[in-house]
Amino acid sequence: MKKNIQNILFIAISIAFLGFTGCKKQELAEPKAVKIVNLQIRGTKGATDTLEFVKDGKVIAQTINNNESFNLADVKVSVEDENSSLTVRLKGHNEILATRKISSNQFDQIINCYYDGEKVYGNFVTLKIKGYASSGILELVLDGKTIGSGTGTELSKIMSLGVDDGKNRQLQVRKQGETGILLTREIPADQSAQSLAFYYDGTNIFDKIDIGQPVNPANMLLSIKFNSKVNIFQGPADMVVLKEKAGVFTPTDLRIEIKTDGSFSNAVELPSLTAEAGTNYFVKIVKRGTNDDLPYDFTNSVKPIKPESGRKLITFTPGSSSILVITDEKVETTVGPASRRGTVINLLVTDIAQYFK
């Protein structure tokens, strides 16, 4: 009897064991569920390289060979779990530039990337730069790499800068050939449109200038900074304000004293011209205290000295302010008809108020 009971128990345990192992084998053999998702791959390239988007070793999409924005829509891929990913590389290269996660829980998904020629970022910001250098060449340096340079108005441009979420970048301005930093600006990753304005006078850089406003909104505020580049200039000098009508120039009582240290003059307010149809404002550089004498030594210059020398039209805009950076040039004409021969001093003007409004 005891032996029969043992046999029955042995058979029962064996059946249970076989059932358990059978279930395990069945569970292991069950394939993973595969889902199809729809990708929209979009972004911008700052270089002409072709980007390839790769999943499981296969190229599923690629950009065309230009440096424009791209939008690759309706890219269908299969995913098995939350560990699926997409890699980005250059065509013809194996190095992975970036990896993007693909979710298995969402059908429509957007993959963003910006390629700057070296690295792929998750997004980009647009930086509008309005810069002016009155002398010297300045460099724009992003995270230690020079991305632009120039003098005068050459530094004014609109740039796209790659960013990753939560990671700010740093832009610096320095003089070409030097390591000292003139200006540093943080580029937040969460602001899609940003701006930077600055003025460099050859020694100091300003990213803020209080341009002020005229007391009377019908008038215009005017400030001047002058730096001569002509070796026959003899200061000190003033800028006298003239009124012009039908080719006749008449000095006003307004006079701007040019600072000898290269700084900006005190501002003067130009009265409205509304009641004087056909009248324009000009400024003329003169010897200090005079209304007409040019502050130049013309002893060895080609004669005659043209009457328009040293004059410059002022664009009058009611309620506005102008900050004029002025320099000069000497032009001599020795050939052609007698009416063309002679020397003229031209004033070259840049209104930097536009950078700080």
| pLDDT tops 60 at residue 270 | yes
Whole-number Å distance between alpha carbons of 281 and 220: 11
| Res. 353 pLDDT band, cuts 50 70 90 | confident
35-121 against 220-355: fold identical: yes
DSSP string covering 206-234:
ES-------SSTTSEEEEEEE----TTB-
CATH of domain 35-121: 2.60.40
Model pLDDT for residues 118-168, shown as the tens digit of each residue: 899 988 899 999 888 888 899 999 988 898 899 888 888 888 899 998 899
**What's the confidence (pLDDT) of residue 2?**
47
Amino acid letter, residue 2: K
Query: Domains of the chain: which residue ranges?
Result: 35-121, 124-206, 220-355
269-296 mean pLDDT = 94
Parallel/antiparallel/unpaired status of strands 69-79 and 58-62: unpaired
DSSP3 helix / strand / coil % (the chain, rounded to 5): 10, 50, 40
With contact defined as beta carbons under 8 Å apart, do 320 and 349 qualify?
A: no
Q: Class assignment of domain 124-206? A: mainly beta
Q: Give 220-355's CATH code, choosing from 2.40.50, 2.60.40, 2.70.150, 1.10.1060.
A: 2.60.40
**What's the confidence (pLDDT) of residue 20?**
47
DSSP letter at 264? P
Minimum mean pLDDT among 7-11, 32-36, 67-71: which range? 7-11
Residue of 197, 183, 148, 190 lying closest to 169 (CA atoms): 190
What is the side-by-side order of every strand in the sheet holding 120-121? Answer: 69-79, 35-45, 108-115, 120-121
Pairwise pLDDT comparison (26 vs 64), residue with the higher score:
64
What's the predicted TM-score (pTM) here? Answer: 0.67
